[in-house]
Amino acid sequence: MKKFSIGLMLLITITLVFVLGFGYKNSPQPNSYYEVYLNDELLGTVKSKNELEDYIDKNGAYYKNKFDVDKIYSPRGLQIRKVVTYDGDVSSVSNIYNKISKKESFTVRGYEFIIKRQITDNSEDSKDELSTQSIYVLDKSVFKDAVNILINTFVGEDAYEAYIDDNQVEIESTGKNIEDVYVGEDITVKETNIPVDKVIYTDDTDLANYLLYGKNQKGTEYIVKAGDTIDNVAFNNKVNPQEIVISNTDLTSTTNLLYPGQKLLIKETNPQISIVEESYVVEDVESPYTTEERYDDSAIIGQDKVIQDGVNGMERVSQRVKRVNGSINYVTPEGKTVLKEPVSKIIVKGTKYVPDVGSLTSWGWPTDSGWTLSSGYAYRSNPFGGGRELHTGLDISGTGYGSKIYATNNGRVMIAGYHYSYGNYVVINHNNGYMTLYAHMSRIAVKKGQVVARGQVIGYVGMTGSATGPHVHYEVWRGCEYCHVNPSVLYPNGYR
């Protein structure tokens, strides 16, 4: 019995030793893999992060050639996270690559220029809004060179170079000196990965064309006919004369002569940035003579007699002028010197009272001398909304805020009030088929129904309503209200 117990214990001991000693196996070791996420969506797991990145790069030959780059990168929203797991289920890099390519674009390394600009809505309840757009380039110099092309377009290459080199000719009598040139928008730049499906500029000329014309860069061809001028070609094609010069490099000025058969490119500009030029200008300008009317109660009404011809004078006018993309935006008068006094034209009219019927042959001017025509009767981009429109009158700047505005002919005041766009404005019916409008006044000096004489003060220059600076907006209506015509019909010999 004792021998049996000893033997049983020995058998149990041997069995335990065999099970615990020879039957033991090592626990499995965890693996280091990489989970691939795209915009926080798990696409799968790969063994090697570098292998996936290399695969993306090697399969980007088309884009390497298109953009002339050495490397193609993963999309912006791709994240590769290292994980330690016992799970051995992994995907091939080609499988993950295919999933990525169906969802997002791969990227190249470059620069994003972010342009921020204020959009002004002139309605009473509106607030300025901030508009942003991104321009993508591979080399920062492409953007800089494109901006320089725009500067040369709007400012002039020679003038800008003289300003940069501090080599402008000193003004001794008349001339112009640029005081500053800059981009009006807030522009920031950052280095980033750019999706290959974005518009990426590699050429400064291509980018300059976009910055000048916007997305719609198609133009039309116009064949010049006998008698055409840049002004009437521009008006008939609903563009501004300066836009004709910009789009046709063989033209240097809006006064260039055209010849029959000449081909012109007609394109509407839509600048994406504002090239601001601030300059000091001294010019000798004619100061138009005034017309003095004398009344003779012994003569029949309507019998006019000129007893003295008018002669224009000459003034040396100095101004600080702000231009945005080539167009006058703000004029500040700095001074003027009379070089030659004008001689008034004197007309004796056969009446002893001031009639409310204006002359059809003699029209005055609505401002003092020293003025600048900042915008004419022409098509242009609206400086506030940016849309294409016909500017229906003359913008006369340069006489200064608060300077006098005169009735250009006898008549009766139809309107003296406020309009959201015209600001403080006056409309005069001259009872001869014409009406005139005077807008953006700082203050109105007449009332509705009042009879006014040519040369009478009816208000003062301001910038109420839709105005970028102090000026008077002068419109001529013929036949009916708001039937505007080119004011030049009243001034066959020109404005000066």
Please count the structural domains in the chain: 4
Strand positions, DSSP E, 309-446 = 313-324, 327-340, 345-349, 372-375, 379-381, 388-390, 394-397, 404-406, 411-419, 423-429, 434-444
Q: For the residues of 175-207, what is the DSSP string, one character each?
A: EEEEEEEEESSEEEEEEEEEETTS-EE--HHHH
Task: Say how far residue 95 (Cα) sits from the centre of its chain.
Answer: 48
Q: 3-class DSSP state for residue 420?
A: coil
Question: The domain that contains 309 carries what CATH number?
Answer: 2.70.70.10
Residue 350, pLDDT score: 76
Residue 235: give its domain's CATH number. 3.10.350.10
193 and 321, same domain (yes or no): no
CA 8 to chain centre: 103
Cα–Cα distance for residue pair 461/481, rounded to 1 Å: 23
Instruction: Provide the token pair at 402.
Output: 């608060």
pLDDT score of 19: 44
**Residues 318, 466 within the same domain:** yes
Helix (H, G, I), strand (E, B) or coil at 230: helix
Identify whether residues 337 and 482 lie together within a single domain: yes
203/312 same-domain check: no
Domain containing 243 equals 220-266
Residue 138 is predicted with a pLDDT of 96
Give the CA diameter of the chain: 170
Distance CA(410)–CA(432), nearest Å, equals 10
Specify whether 334 is located in the same domain as 483: yes
Residues 6+ apart with CB under 8 A from 31: 84, 85, 86, 87, 88
Phi first, then psi: give them for residue 182, nearest 5 degrees: -160, 165
pLDDT recorded at residue 216: 80
Which candidate, 188, 468, 465, places its Cα nearest to that of 324?
Answer: 468
The reported pLDDT for the residue numbered 8 is 57
Domain presence at residue 5: no
Tokens of 89: 């289920």
Counting beta carbons within 10 angstroms of the beta carbon of residue 317, is it exposed (0 to 12), middle (13 to 18) or buried (19 or more)? buried
199 located within any domain: yes
Residues 48, 144 share a domain: no
Distance CA 210, CA 119 (A): 19
Alpha-carbon 169 to chain mean position: 30
pLDDT at 130: 81
Same domain, 123 and 82: no
Query: What is the block-wise mean pLDDT of the chain (496 residues), using blocks of 10 residues?
Result: 52 48 55 93 93 93 93 94 86 93 95 88 62 95 97 95 95 96 96 96 96 90 96 94 93 94 95 96 94 79 81 96 95 96 90 82 94 95 86 96 97 96 98 98 95 93 96 97 96 87
Quick one: which of 279, 274, 289, 495 has its CA closest to 396? 495
Q: What dihedral do alpha carbons 134, 135, 137, 143 form, nearest 10°?
A: -130
What is residue 23's predicted lDDT score, i.e. its pLDDT? 44
122 shares its domain with 90: no
pLDDT at 119: 72
- Establish if 122 belongs to a structural domain: yes
The answer on 317 and 374 residing in a single domain is yes
Question: How far apart are alpha carbons 468 and 384 in whole angstroms?
Answer: 9
Torsion sign across C-alpha atoms 432, 437, 442, 447: positive
Beta-carbon contacts of residue 191 (< 8 Å; ≥ 6 apart): 109, 110, 111
